[in-house]
Structure 1
Amino acid sequence: MIPRILVLNDNSEKRTRGLAAGFRRRGAVAINASLATLAFDTGSPSGISIPGFDGALPDAVLVRSIAAGSFEAITRRLGVLHALGRLGVPVWNSAQAIERCVDKSMTTFLLANAGLPTPPTFAVEGMEAARQIAARELPAAPLVLKPLFGAQGRGIRLIQSLDDLPAEDDVSGVFYLQHYVRRPGPPFRDCRVFVCAGRPIAMMSRRGDDWITNVNRGAVPEPVSGHDEDELSELAVAAAAAVGADFAGVDIVAAEGGGLMVLEVNSMPAWSGLQSVAAVNIADAIAEALLACLAERRATVSLGKPYRFAAPANR
């Protein structure tokens, strides 16, 4: 039977076409849809209506992106992913992993809880609490304020004094504050490691004139040099496992005084910049890993043994 993979993406982009080609080369069919178009429907056999599946369920789901929406809309969409997992459909990444990564405060909690190096971080509500944190921590290091649910470097600010704290309304009342990791620059550099099914498949260094080194802000992807790739790989794999991600882009920075720190784990990472310096085809690697896990699951179930389709357990 030909596996049918549902790729959830809100943009008809090159990466999605690459995934479709990767699945097709391996004897599977990829069907692209927006998560917003999936619906709870108690009249359907599964309770979920999925465009292009005629009441049936996909063999697996790959989540590439989730469009912005109201709190209610996002809650419903994640509920659909939770429901698919409950129905036994493998979902990469699971709703739980996405929730953990989208909420930066939970990501850093899980990283620290797993014993992984990450900068001192604080997430509080209200200006009074934020000013107390800043007054206490600024003598030790500047603070980086990030939107709790932000991505691609948008909305990040460097806090060097109490006056740099934005108004509560600008951050929806939540202040996520993290010690700034001092590093040489300009140019500034950090590393992105792409992990899939518990293995590092590609990595890059991002070089930029700005300390915020996202490619969409002008940073240049480069091959990694000057770092121990085994150390980067080990740290990235452990970070992905800590949040329960089947695939992830892990951002790691080298501190000025030495040592590596994990800044973020992205559960819906872009890879166009990384692909420009990677030796492997990333879309192919994802398709191969997902289908291998699906084949292992089917073989195990056919032998009558229980099988739990998931990322490596939290450390």
Structure 2
Amino acid sequence: MRSDHRLAVLASRVRFEEKQIMAALDRRGATFVHLDPRSLVVADGVSRKDFVLNREVGHYRALYAASALESAGATVLNTAAATHVSGDKWLTTAALLAAGLPTPRTALAMTPEAAVDALDQIGYPAVVKPLVGSWGRLVTAIPDRPTATAVLEHVAALPSPQQHVVYVQELVEKADRDIRVLVVGGQALGATYRRGDEWRTNVARGAVSTRCELTDVHAKLAVAAAEAVGAEIAGVDLLEDADGHLTVLEVNDRVEFRGFQDAHEIDVADVVASHVLGRARA
């Protein structure tokens, strides 16, 4: 990355969202470069004027690229610290709890064997999730203790020590939907319901986004959750139980917004571009 490049978009895959953001930057007359982390080597020569929008899809590349760029003097949005926290489910839970925000009952077991006891304490049905992951992959619903024992035997056989630390969460009884709120620069842009044919309501798994009326409760909770993990641009996932009580499930720091944009007339990419340019000028 050369010091004469003021603004960069970091992404190995240029998806719908990245194309929209780049087009919005073009419309605003911004000069920027596309920075592919797969060929990125960070050393001396990064100007303190450089500003990088982190849109890298892979968590670890996003995290370490952001950290390296920041160490060389660049400003990265979202920061490496925000990516570190929001990309790890337990760190997100810890940040939400520290901020006093409602989140489903959760336990962290240091071994798969201890996770059986953790599930007994949480109660069934429950969910076992990988610490790092997206699109609902490897998230497993656990209806009872025999299923837990079988699933955790497979977890114990996984090769990575990190995979043996088990994140356990209650399965919140909810409607066939969750709520996604987009937050940019401390403002909630709007909300969508995400409905699917299965209990995981990820758009990547076929869920459909429809417009949700954004209430003050949704907005305040989502903004507070984004602030808790340090993310200026975020997608905050809320769960609503049968009694209407809301909890914060996740905060996504490199949020996908195609489903949201299909459900709204809001040009999310233009809002992001405006925020990025304002921060870069500052």
TM-score between the two structures when normalised by the length of structure 2 = 0.89
Q: 1:301: which partner in 2?
A: none
Alpha-carbon separation, structure 2, partners of 1:269 and 1:204 = 14
- Find the structure with the greater CA-based Rg: 1
> Where do 1:155-170 residues align within 5 Å?
155-165=138-148, 166=151, 167=153, 168-170=156-158
Which structure 2 segments of 5+ residues have no match? none
How far is the alpha carbon of 1:57 from its aligned partner? 6.6
Q: 1:288: which partner in 2?
A: 274
TM superposition outliers: structure 1 runs of 4+ over 3 Å: 77-80
Residue 244 of structure 2 aligns to a residue in which SS?
coil
Q: In the alignment, does 2:22 pair up with 1:10?
A: no
**Equivalent residue pairs, number:** 271
Deviation sequence 1:270-295 (CA, Å, 0-9, x none)? 11111101221111100001111222
Alpha-carbon separation, structure 2, partners of 1:45 and 1:262 = 41
89 and 238 in structure 1: CA distance in 2 versus 1, 3 angstrom threshold: same
Q: Percent of aligned pairs with the same residue?
A: 35
Structural RMSD (CA):
2.1
Which structure 1 segments of 5+ residues have no match? 47-55, 69-73, 298-315
Asked whether the equivalents of residues 7 and 280 of structure 2 are also in contact (C-alpha less than 8 Å), the reply is no
How far is the alpha carbon of 1:45 from its aligned partner? 3.1
Alpha-carbon separation, structure 1, partners of 2:57 and 2:240 = 31
Q: In the alignment, does 2:259 pair up with 1:279?
A: no
Alpha-carbon separation, structure 1, partners of 2:48 and 2:120 = 53
Alpha-carbon separation, structure 2, partners of 1:128 and 1:57 = 48
Alpha-carbon separation, structure 2, partners of 1:106 and 1:61 = 24
Letter in structure 1 aligned against 2:45: P
Residue 118 of structure 1 aligns to a residue in which SS?
coil
Alpha-carbon separation, structure 2, partners of 1:143 and 1:291 = 43
Q: 2:78: which partner in 1?
A: 93
Give the one of 175, 196, 219 matched to 1:208.
196
Q: In the alignment, does 2:234 pair up with 1:237?
A: no
How far is the alpha carbon of 1:129 from its aligned partner? 0.7
Alpha-carbon separation, structure 2, partners of 1:58 and 1:204 = 36
Letter in structure 2 aligned against 1:149: V
Q: 1:177: which partner in 2?
A: 168
3 and 31 in structure 1: CA distance in 2 versus 1, 3 angstrom threshold: closer
Deviation sequence 1:52-96 (CA, Å, 0-9, x none)? xxxx6763101112437xxxxx37x63442243244422111111
Residue 263 of structure 2 aligns to a residue in which SS?
coil
How far is the alpha carbon of 1:3 from its aligned partner? 7.4
Alpha-carbon separation, structure 2, partners of 1:81 and 1:15 = 19
